[in-house]
Structure formats: C-alpha cells, structure tokens
Amino acid sequence: MKIKAIIPEYLKYIQVIGRSHYTIRGARFILLRFARYLEKERIYNIEDLTFEVIEDYQQELAFSLTAKGTPLSVSTQVKQLNTVTLLTRYLKEKDYLVNDPGKKIKLPREPKRLPKSILSQLEIKHLMNAQDMQSNNGYRDRIMLEILYDTAIRRSELSNIKIHDLELNGGFVKVLGKGDKERVVPLSKGVCELIQNYIRFIRPALVTGTDHGYLLVNDKGGRIRVHTIWKNIKHCARLANLKKNITTHTFRHTCATHMLKNGAPIRHLQEMLGHASLESTQIYTHVTINDLKEIHAKYHPGANKE
C-alpha cells in the first residue's frame, strides 16, 4: 500500500479517538510534508519505511530552513518527528508493518536556556542594604538573601534548613536537595556571623509557639514556606528599587555566574549546586562566554575590521 494513501485513513482514526480539529489539521500538514520528502527519495510503499528512512528524515529536518531562512526550532522538529512516529506506531498496530521503525528514534532535546536575570555585584549590594536591619522581619529577610547568594541553594532547600544543619564555626550548612540527596555547602565568614546574631537575638522573638528548629521562621514562628520566600524576595527587590524580574532562582544563577567569572572550577560548582549532571552546570559557562564575546568585540583590535 502507498504511504500517501494511508494518511487519510490515519487522520480519520485520530478524529475518531477524539483528537481536536487543530491537532488533525497539524498532523495532515506534517504528514503530507513527510510524504513529499519520501517521494523525493523515491520511497512510496509502507513496507519501505525503515528506521534508517526516518533517521534520514530527522537529519533533513535538522538542516531545514523556515520561509524566513532561519533553521527549524528544536520544538518544531520534535513536533514533526512525534507526528511521524505516531503514524508508524499506528501502522504497526494495524499490521501494515511487522515492526515500528519510529520506535527507536531519539528526539532532539531543547537546548537549555540561559538564565534570564543575572544581578551585578552592585545590584546585590543595593538589595542587601535595602533591608531594615532594625526590624526582626527585615533582619530575617537579609539573612534569607545572604544565604541564597552565598550558597546558590534552591528555595525548598532554604526553607528546610534547621539550626542543627548549620556548622557556623566550620562555615558550612547541610542541605537536602532533589531526590533527597544530602550535600554540604560552604558559608562565608560574614554570613555565618549574621546568622549567629539572628539565631541569638532575632529568631527567639519570632518563635511564639512550638519551636520545630527551622532556621527561617515566619511571623507566627513556623517554618517559612517556599511561596513566602518567593513573596519576600519580590518585596526585597521593590525595596531596592530593582527593575529586573528577581526570583529565588536569580540568586542561584547569579552566585554560579559570579563564581565562574572569578575562576571557580566547574566540577566544584556542580557539587555545590547539587547538579546530578555536569550538563546542567555548563549552562553558566555560556553566560560567561557571552560576556567574553562582548568584551572581545569591544576591545580586540581585529574585532571591528571589515
């Protein structure tokens, strides 16, 4: 049977099983494009569909251009390949094929995005200094900011820190990360001193009921929740009159970027951030490379040659 002839049957099938009008219209467009490619390669029959044929089509998509002359985005490639592999699965289920040639196709992965907001050291300074150190909440929020920037831990990890997780004399804190993996993260001397003062003078005034031992507590003395941390970060940014979209992850990105710029080994940074894969940490190298490119374009004598 011809590949092009099976497409209407498949489209009718996905209509019957309840796919939307837009899904069906998109699938028709994608599969007719696939059929045109196959005809160009002189592949007409269903039995000629093999893993190698679909793999070649994947390469074709990877090097295809849009009407504007730009490469197809990874998400577009994934959508088109998904539609093709759903067709091959249907062909296998309906016994048009003995094996599903699309089953082993590995879809391309979206490139990791660069962090959107990175704070400068001056912005960090403004953010810290904007907090009211004379009030209990202001002091606590300053501690929150200091720990986030000093350690690059996640907000959930910050929320779960208990006093017994701290070793202020040694300068480190024990945190529980993703997958309940425990790691030890360094704390700078200045931050340790601020935390010590907070524990001694501020925290007792915030704990009004049963003390469960959490470092950062809310106005009622309970553990400060992750959403409250997010809200407090937004409040702190407004106090500092910073216009960037600042979240708890901004501190994680900023800490990692600043450390890399200052020469921190990426393997050590991976351990500090609690990344299972070095690939996750390497996104920060792109940030520093972009900075280097800007400096190179501005100062290198050959950069502006025609």
Q: Which residues carry out catalysis?
A: 154, 178, 249, 252, 275, 284
Report pLDDT digits (tens) over 3-26.
999 999 999 999 999 988 889 999
Locate 255 and state its tokens.
């800490």
**Does the pLDDT at position 227 exceed 70?**
yes
User: What integer pLDDT is reported at residue 298 of this predicted model?
Assistant: 64
What is the structure's pLDDT at 239?
Answer: 94
The pLDDT-based confidence of 236 (bands split at 50, 70, 90) is: very high
Q: Which has more pLDDT, 118 or 82?
A: 82
pLDDT at position 64, please?
Answer: 84
User: What are the b/e assignments for 84-108, b being 16+ CB within 10 Å?
Assistant: bbbbbebbbeeebbeebbbeebeee
Residue-wise pLDDT tens digits, 205-221 = 999 888 899 999 987 77
Starting at the edge strand found earlier in the chain, the sheet holding 166-167 runs 166-167, 172-176, 182-186
Residue 76 has pLDDT above 80, yes or no: yes
What are the pLDDT digits (tens) for 33-44?
999 999 999 999
Which residues partner with 217 through β-bridges? 223
Question: Phi-psi bin for 179: left (phi > 0), alpha (psi -120 to 50), beta?
Answer: left
Round to whole Å and give the CA distance between 267 and 67: 42
pLDDT-based confidence at 266, cuts 50/70/90?
A: confident
pLDDT band at residue 65, thresholds of 50, 70 and 90? confident
- Is residue 209 a contact partner of residue 118, using CB atoms and an 8 Å limit? no
Average confidence (pLDDT) over 171-178: 90
Structural domains of the chain ordered from first start: 3-93 (1.10.150), 121-297 (1.10.443.10)
Q: What is the chain's mean pLDDT, rounded?
A: 87
Length of the chain equals 306
- pLDDT score of 276: 74
